[in-house]
Amino acid sequence: MNTDEPVPAPEAGVRTSVDGAVATVLLDRPEVRNAQNPAMWAAIADFLESLTDEVRVVVVRGAGGTFSAGLDLALVDPREANTPGSLVETLARSDEEVIDLIGEYQRPFVALADPRFISIAVVEGYAIGAGFQMALGCDLRIMAEDAWVCMKEPALGLVPDLAGTKPLVAAVGYARALEICATARKVGAHEAERIGLAQSVVPAADLDSTLEGLVGSLTAHDATAVRRTHELLAGASARSLDEQRLAERTAQVGQLRAVLRG
Ligand code: CAA
């Protein structure tokens, strides 16, 4: 598809809003279980990249009781060759162009990890393939107790390519990540919580109140201290101990001065 011509968020199947410190991204194509496409990814990326520092939390959820059934399978249907973003249209390009295009598709998945805010996926129903990867792109995941996630890509002859492999390994470790991906099995909410994929699992009826409580706790403390701490933790695995210690004390100088100033 031509990513130079952004589709407005609602037409792309996304509803976005900002209410004080909280921004919300609602995947809103319930008739196809919030299946994702390139227009949706561009709209989400544009929204996230436009957020100001007033926003401290980004909530991602799906309409109609499900998070997302993953890639819109119409795009891989050879009969849908004229659909923008279809596989047939995409593969008419060179390998290098396809690699660049997928890089563009990865934008919202990367933007969700921006340490300026804490992103929370609220997973109801299921999060499959690109849906699971979008939940993985978020810092935290709350799941309904009957919800499940699935890295379906290998079962379709594909690899997970929407920036989901790194957070999956970080959350559950290499061996469990490999087992989940290679088998493409469903992982239920309680297992997800036990292995570190979900931070909370509650009855579906309690998702909203759980989210409200979490957002309240995440925004209760000094915004800069939380943001700097988020940056330290998010970058920790890529730094040596000495680099991490330097990053900690460098961040602390500014915080100490701010505390003294009151
Ligand atoms: N793309 C397009 N349409 C989809 C869809 C998808 N991924 N998932 C569901 N739909 C559509 C169905 O075709 C159906 O449409 P109709 O009403 O016109 O028939 C409608 O949504 C409702 O679907 P179901 O009746 O199947 O609903 P369900 O609640 O019984 O089951 C489901 C839901 C388990 C998600 C099942 O629909 C399903 O397995 N969908 C396919 C999931 C999938 O394989 N996704 C791709 C993952 S791989 C990926 O995402 C690739 C990548 O990142 C690179």
| pLDDT at residue 3 in the model | 39
| pLDDT at residue 5 in the model | 54
| pLDDT at residue 6 in the model | 59
Across 5-103, the runs of DSSP E, i.e. the strands, are: 14-19, 22-27, 57-62
Residues (pLDDT < 50) of the chain are 1-4
Q: Which superfamily does 3-218 belong to?
A: 2-enoyl-CoA Hydratase; Chain A, domain 1 (3.90.226.10)
Could you report the per-residue pLDDT of 54-70, keeping only the tens digit for each? 999 999 999 999 999 99
Q: What are the residue boundaries of the structural domains of the chain, listed by start? A: 3-218, 223-261
Strand pairing category for 118-123 and 14-19: unpaired
Sign of torsion over alpha carbons 129, 165, 196, 216: negative
145 Cα to the center of ligand 1, angstroms: 21
- Alpha-carbon span 262 to 125, nearest angstrom: 46
| pLDDT at residue 176 in the model | 98
Q: What is the ipTM of this complex?
A: 0.98
Could you report the per-residue pLDDT of 174-185, keeping only the tens digit for each? 999 999 999 999
Angle at 123 between CA 121 and CA 100, to 5 degrees: 55
32 Cα to the center of ligand 1, angstroms: 6
- Alpha-carbon span 130 to 95, nearest angstrom: 21
| pLDDT at residue 10 in the model | 76
- Alpha-carbon span 230 to 114, nearest angstrom: 9
| pLDDT at residue 2 in the model | 38
> Within 75-222, where are the H helices?
87-90, 95-105, 107-111, 130-137, 165-172, 174-183, 189-194, 207-218
Q: Is the CB of 120 under 6 A from ligand 1?
A: no
Could you tell me if 107 and 41 are in contact, meaning their C-beta atoms sit under 8 angstroms apart? yes
Buried b (16+ CB within 10 A) or exposed e, 89-122: ebeeeeeeeeeebeeebbbbbebbbbbbbbbbbb
Max intra-chain CA distance, the chain: 66
- Alpha-carbon span 9 to 92, nearest angstrom: 27
- Alpha-carbon span 33 to 64, nearest angstrom: 8
Ligand 1, atom nearest to 129 Cα: 50
33 Cα to the center of ligand 1, angstroms: 6
From 121, 100, 99, select the one nearest 109 (Cα to Cα): 121
- Alpha-carbon span 68 to 84, nearest angstrom: 20
| SS3 assignment, position 82 | coil
| pLDDT at residue 152 in the model | 98
Q: Is the CB of 75 under 6 A from ligand 1?
A: no
Strand pairing category for 118-123 and 148-150: unpaired
197 DSSP assignment = S
155 Cα to the center of ligand 1, angstroms: 14
Q: Within its chain, how far is the Cα of 11 from the centroid?
A: 20
| pLDDT at residue 83 in the model | 81
